[in-house]
């Protein structure tokens, strides 16, 4: 019986951001251009045309049925932990603002 188990892998945060769909409670957003109302079944952003390679769910527990559906329908789409993504984007912005110290 197959189950979802979290794994960890190093990613370039800027690469992830350029190809990330962030899914909320009702709709998704393109992390690259902030386009709203992106549909879960879209393979690219309707605005900036970026190809989605990654998806992050703002609330994984409430979207678990969608998560299982995505894994089955789009196995090439990598699932990214939204909290990890936010933390690394924030650290990256702080580093840009304050520089390496």
At residue 34, the pLDDT reads: 96
Tokens of residue 74, six digits: 């789009």
pLDDT in tens, 30-70: 999 999 989 988 999 999 999 999 999 999 888 888 888 88
- Note the pTM of the prediction, 2 decimals: 0.86
Residue ranges covered by each domain of the chain: 13-96
Q: Is the dihedral of CA 51, 55, 82, 12 positive or negative?
A: negative
- Residue pair 92/13 in contact by the 8 Å Cβ criterion: yes
At residue 45, the pLDDT reads: 97
Task: Reply yes or no on whether the pLDDT at 100 is more than 70.
Answer: no
Count CB atoms within 10 A of the CB of residue 30.
25
Q: How far apart are CA 23 and CA 53, in angstroms?
A: 13
Task: Reply yes or no on whether the pLDDT at 101 is more than 60.
Answer: no
- Residue pair 54/20 in contact by the 8 Å Cβ criterion: yes
């Amino acid at each position: 019986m197959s189950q979802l188990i979290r794994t960890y892998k190093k990613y370039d945060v800027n690469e992830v951001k350029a190809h990330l769909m962030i899914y909320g409670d009702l709709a998704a957003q393109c992390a690259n251009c902030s386009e709203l109302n992106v549909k879960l079944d879209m393979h690219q952003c309707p605005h900036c045309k970026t190809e989605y390679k990654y998806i992050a769910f703002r609330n994984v527990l409430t979207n678990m049925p969608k998560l299982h559906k995505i894994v089955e329908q789009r196995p090439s789409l990598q699932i990214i932990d939204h909290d990890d993504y936010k933390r690394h984007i924030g650290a990256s912005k702080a580093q840009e603002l304050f520089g390496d110290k």
